[in-house]
Structure 1
Amino acid sequence: MTYLFNQPSAFAAELIEGFIAANADKVRQVTGGVVRSTRSEPNTVAVIVGGGSGHYPAFAGLVGQGLAHGAAMGNLFASPSAQQIYNVARAAHNGAGVLLMFGNYAGDVLHFGQACERLRAEGIACDVLAVTDDISSAGKEELEKRRGVAGDLCVFKAACAAAEAGHDLAAVVKLAQHANQRTRTFGVAFAGCTLPGASHPLFEVEKGRMALGLGIHGEPGIKETDMPSADELAEIFVERLLNELPVDIKQAEGQRVAVILNGLGSVKYEELFVVYRRVAQLLDAAKVQIVEPDVGEFVTSFNMAGASLTLMWLDETLETLWRAPTNTPAYRKGSVLVAEPLSATEREESREEALPAATAESQESAKRVLQLLESVADMLQRNAKRLGDIDAVAGDGDHGIGMERGVLGAVAKARDVAARGAGAGSLLCRAADAWADNAGGTSGALWGVALTALGTALGDRFTPDAQRVAAGVRAAKEGIMHFGKARVGDKTMVDVLVPFSDSLNAAVAEGASLTDAWLAAAQVADKAAQDTAQLVPKMGRARPLAEKSLGTPDAGAISLALIVNTVGDLLKEQSTSEQGV
């Protein structure tokens, strides 16, 4: 359990505040996370790492000389939003481009990808790299589907040392990819973690048993076995990893490796040393040379009981990068020349949020868009439990809560910017960021994509008409399919969004009013949502329990259908009272 907290909802924000207070000589807070509080070499690549909170020292603890320039920090186990990542990247940018790095999880892939595109659109060279070191999460033939776990540190370290050495963005990306390709991790769990305020752990392992390959958020592993001794666990770790050599290494004998024995939160350092004693013996027997090993906590899962072993197979370049000095709050190696601290003025972050100029017509439209969002919020609050129950059949049951958090955040932001004269487009774009920030996860990311696309199409100059709205919905469909990679038939919200968008655009093209076209498309969305009950999921956390969901519709599909019907009802009311709306 978690012993020390105030309000559970404030936990993530308060831990950042305390972290900054304890490490002000190395890091400073910006909106969305932290960046270095020391001066970096100008015209060098900035490396931004990030992910959900609850994995300390990842990610904020790795910000400092020789390692990351900044860390985007989401809520507990929730990806940071694209806006948060963008803010951190802009604050850390040194003039030579940005590399965004993260573990390979759906929400992170979406949000970091969106932030990358936004930075590129502003003329900042940017690239992304998702770490894929967890050998238990996908087979050798699907390396790109593997999760990022404790091997994050190896890959981050290589990229950041390359950036610190002055390599350009293309070279930093190439070296990071090389490190990722040569990094392998295998983990086990003995008990799940319990988040602040929760009465039960996120997942459970039967007493006296051990889950092999279970993910750091409780994602399914390979199997369960009886609890091993420390030596037996070391043997499992080494055997699994020596059987998973990178493709360009033909045999383990004679190789040099960086080694990380990682505790996941509740396994004590003393226990890890007992395990490492045997790991070192086994690698020595295999004639594998260990280089600067690390034993401790590097990527945790809050207070989860478990451990993992990581090997990064070195060549001369990777060994140089691995050995390079670093000085961060949680990871130090070698000796660095202490960087000059930023001045007090440079540390201050401007929190002024400028809004684009908007016409009176668009400002009036923004008020109507706010009404739509408020109606959607009321509906989602009423249906949060129902959506959670649907999601719990084959998922983790948090869809309703996430949607509620997202829409309430979006409404709060929309009210704020509407009061300050935002146009309809800017209001939706700001609401999109707030939805993603508050909801977290893949669903939050996708709704951020959708509202941003719609807001961009509406703009801040004109009253939204049928053509602009239909174009915005089409852009939302294309954006969600691009970032989320789902297709019709995968049992996701895409199964509703595609027919809804197609129906709406077809009706508008034939001359229908926005209200009539929307109401007709909403009926199509309803049927499509119910039809997902006959599908099995091919993406996301529900995929391992695919057959269990047969006969139950997809929660994301149902929530989208509910939303478009709620909007349709209000459009009908508005069109009755105001001509042309």
Structure 2
Amino acid sequence: MTRLFNDPAAFADEALEGFTAAHRRRVRPVTGGVVRAGATPAGQVAVVIGGGSGHYPAFSGLVGRGLAHGAAVGNVFASPSAQQIRSVARAAHGGAGVLLMYGNYAGDVLHFGQAAERLAADGIDARTFAVTDDISSAAPGESAKRRGIAGDLPVFKAAAAAAEQGLPLEEVLAVAERANARTRSFGIAFSGCTLPGADHPLFTVPEARMAVGLGIHGEPGIGEEPLPTADEAARLLVGTLLKELPEDVGRPGGRRAAVILNGLGSVKYEELFVVYRKVAALLDEAGVEIVDPEVGELVTSFDMAGVSLTLTWLDDRLEELWRAPADTPAYRKGALGEPEAPASGPVRAADEAPEAGIPAASEASRHAAGAVLAALDAVAVTVDAHVDELGRIDAVAGDGDHGIGMQRGSTAARRAAADAHELGAGAGTVLAHAADAWADKAGGTSGALWGTILRAVGNALGDQEAPTAARVAEGVTEASAAVRRLGGAEVGDKTMVDVLVPFADTLAAAVSEGLRLTTAWDRAAGAAEAAAAATAGLLPRKGRARPHAEKSLGTPDAGAHSLALITRAVHGVLLNHH
């Protein structure tokens, strides 16, 4: 378990601070993460990678010449926010565009996609690419739904090496696509990981058993098998990957592969080498030529006891890129000479946009902002009271961080709203500030979606008119539509959408009947509570719980449950402020 920490909520920030202090010759801190110590050469595409903390060396440890130009670093097991990613990308940009790369998880997809849109608005050409190497997380015909695990490294490296050669953005992206299409990974685990401040792991494995097909966020395995010997583990890893070759990889001898045997946190190097001796022998028997193998901790999951095997099937071009030199804090290959002189400048990205001022608001809207602030206070108090319960529900088939993420987001939203309210902001601006703070501090899928919800309601309320029941219902309806557009989920997928849609629809219908807001909200909150309970009978079709669908039967969705709790808490505020 993770034993050395101060405030668990500050763990990720303090870890990044210590990392940059230890590696000043290679990286420098910027808002949201790190970039290379030396500026990106003019005209070179910047490869910016990222994801949650808890996976070192991924992602910050892979920043340096020959690999990433920057890394956006989120909270523990939570994607960085769009603002963090944008900040790092702006600092890394060398004038030739940015390729944003990440593992294929819902929160990362949302935040990196939003960051690309904001970069485009800034005049920076940006593309996104998600790594999908984990064969256990979806069938071959649905490879776009697969997670990114240790295959992140060879895909990141191929793209970064192409960028170092001066290729334009579209060609760097094409290299990433080629490398990803030829990369496969599979993992096993013997115990789960324990987050800082937690007193138990996110999942457990029975004595003399192992979990197979695991993720890197504390997700349980797809199944269980008897505990193997080292050679039996090697046979399972190699045999599983050789059953699924890319279509353009020939089956006769003469095939080449970059091979990564990755430790997930607690399996020691000597154990990895015992396994690798058999991996190498089995691949040799299968006619596979191993090219520059890597054995060690490359993409971890805190203290998870487990290993994964990655094969990237090489052609001449991919082999050239795999063998290319790199010099980062955690990954070095070949020789690049002395590093560039560190770039000077402040810790914050020099070109980060300044914060906008508080727009003028009417007296009625400023008065309503007080009720909004009270509602956000109630949300934060409710989340604090249920944080452990939300984490427990989420850990059944996910990564167990929903409660922590909601706590970070709601606390930040309340603080930002209070600051805006003190400066005389109207209801719409108070919600807009809360939305940005929630998305920025929570990260992950819930951060993006709650930021979207608050902003949609804020847009409907505005800063000039006193809020009406119709305007509130309009904002909630737009929030429902916006969340579905952004996340791609619909009713029945076992997500927060299963609660948000009936809540919004019931509220709108009740308001259209002429009911007062308090009465209409009460009816809608009841619909939300019933819908949240009903998610226990659904199989997840979206998010990290999807590969573990059967495990979640009988347990409600954590995001749906937290939304229902919040709707009821807000109703109490409405009663007091009506």
Residue 61 of structure 2 aligns with which residue? Answer: 61
Bigger drift between 379-388 and 496-505 goes to 379-388
Residue 294 of structure 1 aligns with which residue? Answer: 294
**C-alpha distance in 2, partners of 1:222/1:568?**
40
**C-alpha distance in 1, partners of 2:552/2:83?**
33
Residue 39 of structure 2 aligns with which residue? Answer: 39
**Paired residue secondary structure (1:251):** coil
Q: Which runs of 5+ in 1 are unaligned?
A: 576-581
**Paired residue secondary structure (1:240):** helix
**C-alpha distance in 2, partners of 1:292/1:533?**
47
Aligned-partner residue type, residue 6 of structure 1:
N
Residue 429 of structure 1 aligns with which residue? Answer: 432
Residue 233 of structure 2 aligns with which residue? Answer: 233
Note the C-alpha offset of 1:42: 1.7
Residue 81 of structure 1 aligns with which residue? Answer: 81
Note the C-alpha offset of 1:296: 1.5
Residues 109 and 130, structure 2, Cα contact 8 Å, conserved in 1: yes
User: CA deviation digits over 1:240-278, x for unaligned, max 9?
Assistant: 222211122231521221111211122222232232233
Q: 1:464-475 maps to which residues of 2 (within 5 A)? A: 464=467, 469-475=472-478
**C-alpha distance in 2, partners of 1:394/1:150?**
21
Note the C-alpha offset of 1:298: 0.8
Q: 1:381-392 maps to which residues of 2 (within 5 A)? A: 381-384=384-387, 387=390
Inter-CA distance 273–381: structure 2 relative to 1 (3 Å threshold): closer
Bigger drift between 300-309 and 147-156 goes to 300-309
Inter-CA distance 205–50: structure 2 relative to 1 (3 Å threshold): same
Aligned-partner residue type, residue 418 of structure 2:
R
Note the C-alpha offset of 1:451: 1.9
Residues 131 and 180, structure 1, Cα contact 8 Å, conserved in 2: yes
Q: 1:406-421 maps to which residues of 2 (within 5 A)? A: 406-421=409-424
Note the C-alpha offset of 1:397: 5.8
**Paired residue secondary structure (1:344):** coil
User: CA deviation digits over 1:158-214, x for unaligned, max 9?
Assistant: 111122222222222121111111001122212222333333222222333332222
**Paired residue secondary structure (2:137):** coil
Residue 406 of structure 2 aligns with which residue? Answer: 403
Aligned-partner residue type, residue 109 of structure 1:
V
**C-alpha distance in 2, partners of 1:42/1:460?**
43
How many percent identity over aligned positions? 62
Pairing 1:359–2:388 present: no
Pairing 1:491–2:523 present: no
Match for 1:373 among 376, 385, 393? Answer: 376
**Paired residue secondary structure (2:135):** coil
Inter-CA distance 328–6: structure 2 relative to 1 (3 Å threshold): same
Aligned-partner residue type, residue 458 of structure 2:
G
Note the C-alpha offset of 1:359: 0.7
User: CA deviation digits over 1:493-535, x for unaligned, max 9?
Assistant: 2122223333445566788776666555445434444444554
**C-alpha distance in 1, partners of 2:349/2:553?**
50
**C-alpha distance in 1, partners of 2:31/2:471?**
32
Inter-CA distance 342–384: structure 2 relative to 1 (3 Å threshold): closer
Residue 578 of structure 1 aligns with which residue? Answer: none
User: CA deviation digits over 1:204-247, x for unaligned, max 9?
Assistant: 22333332222222323343333333333323222222221112
Note the C-alpha offset of 1:115: 2.0
Aligned-partner residue type, residue 295 of structure 1:
V
Match for 2:577 among 545, 556, 574? Answer: 574
Inter-CA distance 329–562: structure 2 relative to 1 (3 Å threshold): same
Residues 355 and 422, structure 1, Cα contact 8 Å, conserved in 2: no
**C-alpha distance in 2, partners of 1:117/1:484?**
15
Note the C-alpha offset of 1:23: 0.6
**C-alpha distance in 2, partners of 1:427/1:341?**
43
Inter-CA distance 121–568: structure 2 relative to 1 (3 Å threshold): farther
Residue 190 of structure 1 aligns with which residue? Answer: 190
User: CA deviation digits over 1:65-93, x for unaligned, max 9?
Assistant: 11111111122222222222222222222
Residues 357 and 460, structure 1, Cα contact 8 Å, conserved in 2: no
Note the C-alpha offset of 1:304: 1.7
Note the C-alpha offset of 1:363: 5.0
Inter-CA distance 133–305: structure 2 relative to 1 (3 Å threshold): same
Q: 1:206-355 maps to which residues of 2 (within 5 A)? A: 206-251=206-251, 253-338=253-338, 340-345=340-345, 349=349, 354-355=355-356
**Paired residue secondary structure (1:290):** strand
**TM-score, structure 2 normalization:** 0.90
Residue 136 of structure 1 aligns with which residue? Answer: 136
Note the C-alpha offset of 1:2: 2.9
**C-alpha distance in 1, partners of 2:292/2:390?**
49
Note the C-alpha offset of 1:38: 0.6
User: CA deviation digits over 1:522-566, x for unaligned, max 9?
Assistant: 454344444445544333444466566556544433332332343
**C-alpha distance in 2, partners of 1:248/1:4?**
47
Residues 264 and 304, structure 2, Cα contact 8 Å, conserved in 1: yes
**C-alpha distance in 1, partners of 2:506/2:342?**
55
Q: 1:195-206 maps to which residues of 2 (within 5 A)? A: 195-206=195-206
Aligned-partner residue type, residue 157 of structure 1:
K
Note the C-alpha offset of 1:51: 1.1
Inter-CA distance 455–167: structure 2 relative to 1 (3 Å threshold): farther
**C-alpha distance in 2, partners of 1:7/1:322?**
40
- Structure number with greater CO (CA < 8 Å, separation at least 6) is 2
**Paired residue secondary structure (2:309):** strand
**C-alpha distance in 1, partners of 2:461/2:505?**
18
Residues 62 and 331, structure 1, Cα contact 8 Å, conserved in 2: yes
Q: 1:454-465 maps to which residues of 2 (within 5 A)? A: 454-459=457-462, 464=467
Q: Number of aligned pairs? A: 575
Residues 358 and 423, structure 2, Cα contact 8 Å, conserved in 1: no
Bigger drift between 462-471 and 124-133 goes to 462-471
Pairing 1:449–2:449 present: no
Note the C-alpha offset of 1:346: 5.7
Q: Which runs of 5+ in 2 are unaligned?
A: none
**C-alpha distance in 2, partners of 1:548/1:137?**
14
Pairing 1:51–2:54 present: no
**C-alpha distance in 2, partners of 1:66/1:147?**
25
**C-alpha distance in 1, partners of 2:462/2:577?**
21
Note the C-alpha offset of 1:375: 2.4
Pairing 1:115–2:115 present: yes
**Paired residue secondary structure (1:34):** strand
**Paired residue secondary structure (1:211):** strand
**C-alpha distance in 1, partners of 2:393/2:299?**
32
Aligned-partner residue type, residue 182 of structure 1:
R
Residues 238 and 279, structure 2, Cα contact 8 Å, conserved in 1: yes
Residues 51 and 59, structure 2, Cα contact 8 Å, conserved in 1: yes
**Paired residue secondary structure (1:66):** coil
Aligned-partner residue type, residue 44 of structure 2:
T
